[in-house]
Amino acid sequence: MSDAEAKSKPHRLKPVLLGKNMVIDCHGHYTSEPAALLEYRKQQVAALNDPSKAPGELRISDDEIREKLEPAQLKFQRERGTDIAIFSPRASAMGHHVGNEATSVAWSRICNDMIHRVCNLYPRNFIGVCQLPQSPGVPPGNCIPELERCVNELGFVGCNLNPDPSGGYWKEPPLTDRWWYPLYEKMVDLDVPAMVHVTATCNPAFHTTGSHYLNADTTAFMQFLTSDLFKDFPSLKFVIPHGGGAVPFHWGRYRGMAQDMKRPPLKELLLNNVYFDTCVYHQPGIDLLAKVIPADNILFASEMVGAVKGIDPETGHYFDDTKRYIDGVSWLNAEDKRKIFEGNAMKVYPRLGKQISRQADAARA
């Protein structure tokens, strides 16, 4: 098969129901959006001060979507041997702090609809996860209608939950506060997990992908550690992205703090509900992650095309080609790797298996 043929052919989904192993990337954002989407957002934001600048109808053709996705996420899936991405709108563009709740509702619907189009165009390659229409100070329960729409109507399997809709000033109650409970009840009801994911920061102290994202991961973990949230919601599940921020590097600190606080061991306290992805862009980091976090709690992810786009001069491979690092961990056995690449995603996203089958059927039809 020539390169051109390979590119024109959608990547084949391995038939999961027949028991073959898949490589599921649980953390992909739609960072190859057509320019018209970004232009629409620019106009939406401009219209906050000047209603005459409000955008018209968003017009994006299927071909425009294909043209941007093919040489980006789809190319890398093929090259790296990953099968399917759990795919959500660009995280930094969620911008929950921009405008008000209505701004966020309108923008979230549009972004989630774009993900749905991508999943329809490439049903073997992408499964949807939604952005929530959060807004600073607005009860998270207000996000329920959009969550229900995405799960029940669009076939999405999870959501991204922003612990800091203020964009870097951290004005919301901790994720363990009852403030968030109505949303959690609905998540449990729908059987969908959340990835804890902030958006761009408007606080000049932080850099969006260089500190704010990682800080949010660390912050959320510590909120969970100090609370009894999972006594109230035993089946609620969170994925902490970017390898858990600082958490695995400081696993001894967290084990020790839990012990000092007379909390149960972390495994018992958190590891039925909290999972870490593998968006850590060098072998020593992945080695550490795989050493301290049980294989049952690690989900393969790359976040490509994301925070780091280049090739590591030390290895000659893309920094974010995280599959190589997992493959390179000598002490993980085949069963561990199967969990990391597929099994844990199926467990954490209970709707995933059925949705993969459903989309595969649609692709065949």
Question: Could you list the active site residues?
Answer: 303
Based on CB atoms, which residue is closest to its own copies, 103 or 176?
Answer: 176
Alpha carbons 204 and 212: distance in angstroms, whole number: 10
CB of 301 to its own copies, least distance (A): 13
Q: Three-class SS string for the chain?
A: CCHHHHHHCCCCCCCHHHCCCCCEEEEEEECCCCHHHHHHHHHHHHCCCCHHHCCCCCCCCHHHHHHHHHHHHHHHHHHHCCCEEEEEECCCCCCCCCCCHHHHHHHHHHHHHHHHHHHHHCCCCEEECEECCCCCCCCHHHHHHHHHHHHHHCCCCCEEECCCCCCCCCCCCCCCCHHHHHHHHHHHHHCCCEEECCCCCCCCCCCHHHHHHHHHHHHHHHHHHCCCHHHHCCCCCEEECHHHCCCHHHHHHHHHHHHHCCCCCHHHHHCCCEEEECCCCCHHHHHHHHHHCCHHHEECCCCCCCCCCCECCCCCCECCCHHHHHHCCCCCCHHHHHHHHHHHHHHHCCCHHHHHHHHHHHHHC
CA distances from 9 to 78, 81, 221, 258 (A): 10, 15, 41, 51
30 strand-pairing partners: 89
**Pair 243, 200: CB distance under 8 Å:** no
Question: What does the binding site for its own copies look like in residue numbers (CB under 8 A)?
Answer: 163-164, 168-170, 172-174, 203-207, 209-211, 214-215, 218-219, 221-223, 225-226, 242-243, 245-246, 248-257, 259-260, 280-285, 287-288, 291-292, 307-310, 312-314, 319-320
